[in-house]
Amino acid sequence: MPEYPRLQGKKALVTGSDTGIGYEIGREFLRQGADVVFHYVSDDSSVKRVIHEAQSQGRKATAFRADFNCLDEAIALATQSIEFLGGVNCLVNNAGVTFNRPFSKVTPEQFDAMFHINFRAQYFITQRVVEDLLRRGERGAVCNLSSIHALQGVPEHSVYAATKGAILSYTRSLAVELAHAGIRVNAIAPGWVTVENYYKAIPGFTEKGAAEIAHESIPLARCGRPADIANLAVFLCSDDSDYIVGQTIVADGGTTALMSLVSDFRQESTNRFGAGYIPGV
């Protein structure tokens, strides 16, 4: 990564930035010169230290609470951030929740909560930020966090995958609608990135166990790290990516590039397709 601050002068709102990927994105944005608003749902203790450090260096940083199941709170977050920073020209829509349940057992309440938190809030926060950018005549960048669940199927994740697929589709459409105004919209689709939620949701989950599974199943032979996604978000919100519009960049260590029918991708295959009609087979 270049040594110069790639986001100098940028004013960023990073949603879902109290833990995991969002937290690392917020920290990296600060390191790269941006003023940052963090967002949390129930506890801001994890971001207090990094905010204090930024403020002690003369930077603008704070954290606001918002429950994305309530649209008014989501829109208020955007408004508060605009007022605090004097405008938002970098928006990272990271906030989201994961949910697995057999298709036949999903309730309307569960369905609505997933779409409210993962998609509806993101959509209208973006609308509020874009309205302000257009009013000011400013350029800006929007980075939406999707998932490889939008690209590949996993049992019991139909609602989650649907929200992430919606993000991909609206990213493309919004990007071509706003590009002429100097507002670039792109997305990131992370693969397996080890974050705190794994320890809460998976019985007996350990970092060592995850590393062993990743070594066997992911072509890069490791899980993703929050920093992998944070660095990519910096790039997409910086002027270095000025000609990238409407794209979803997959960061998954090769997971989606690997055909699932391949049994052992590290060994030369003993199969000999092409024998008889391809020379040398």
**14 neighbors 63 (Cβ within 8 angstroms):** no
Q: Give tens-digit pLDDT for 77-111.
A: 999 999 999 999 999 999 999 989 999 999 999 99
Distance CA 102, CA 122 (A): 26
Residue 179 has pLDDT above 70, yes or no: yes
**18 neighbors 63 (Cβ within 8 angstroms):** yes
Give the model's confidence band at 32: pLDDT under 50 very low, under 70 low, under 90 confident, else very high: very high
Structural domains of the chain in order of their starting residue, each with its CATH number: 11-251 (3.40.50.720)
Q: Give tens-digit pLDDT for 233-266.
A: 999 999 999 999 999 999 999 999 988 776 677 7
Distance CA 64, CA 78 (A): 10
Spatial CA neighbour of 132 closest among 185, 66, 85: 85
Active site amino acids: 146-147, 160, 164
Give the model's confidence band at 273: pLDDT under 50 very low, under 70 low, under 90 confident, else very high: low
Q: 20-29, 213-222, 266-275 — which one is most confidently predicted on average?
A: 20-29
Residue 17 has pLDDT above 60, yes or no: yes
Which of these ranges, 122-136, 146-160, 210-224, has the smallest mean pLDDT?
210-224
Written as one letter, the residue type at 241 is S
Distance CA 166, CA 159 (A): 11
Average pLDDT over residues 17-37: 96
Residue 58 has pLDDT above 60, yes or no: yes
pTM of the full structure: 0.92
Give the model's confidence band at 1: pLDDT under 50 very low, under 70 low, under 90 confident, else very high: very low
Residue 268 is predicted with a pLDDT of: 76
Angstrom distances, CA of residue 86 to CA of 33, 89, 132, 145, 191 = 16, 10, 10, 24, 34
Distance CA 16, CA 25 (A): 10
How does the average pLDDT of the chain come out, rounded?
92
Q: How many CB atoms lie within 10 A of CB 143?
A: 27
Average pLDDT over residues 110-127: 97
Residue 278 is predicted with a pLDDT of: 63
Residue 210 is predicted with a pLDDT of: 85
Residue 97 is predicted with a pLDDT of: 93
Distance CA 111, CA 162 (A): 10
Give the model's confidence band at 128: pLDDT under 50 very low, under 70 low, under 90 confident, else very high: very high
For residue 94, give both structure tokens.
């990271």
**Distance linking the first and last C-alpha atoms of the chain:** 43
